Amino acid sequence: MYEEIGATKVELTPICVYKISTFALLVFCEVLEMGNLPTGYETSSILLSDDLPDNLTYPNTYKKLFKRAKFFLEDE
């Protein structure tokens, strides 16, 4: 999470395994400590939001994963 958002301490909770082209693990990431956004990576800024952004690479897939994560969190 450091290279994505500058998080220096996180707690990960697995939610489920999914497959697009390969298998991957959907996790909930609780950020416990933040550092500076690292330079030299693709991320230029951080956006905090309760919803997904409009311009997604795989909108149907990410909407399903987001819905699954929200369901998981409500069940906790």
pTM above 0.85, yes or no: no
CA angle 63, 61, 3 (to 5 degrees): 85
pLDDT in tens, 6-64: 899 999 999 999 998 899 999 999 999 998 888 888 888 888 888 898 888 889 999 99
CA 64 to chain centroid, in Å, comes to 13
Across the chain, which distance is largest between two alpha carbons, in Å? 38
What pLDDT does 1 receive? 86
Beta-sheet strands, E only, within 2-62: 7-19, 23-34
Q: Is the dihedral of CA 41, 57, 70, 14 positive or negative?
A: negative
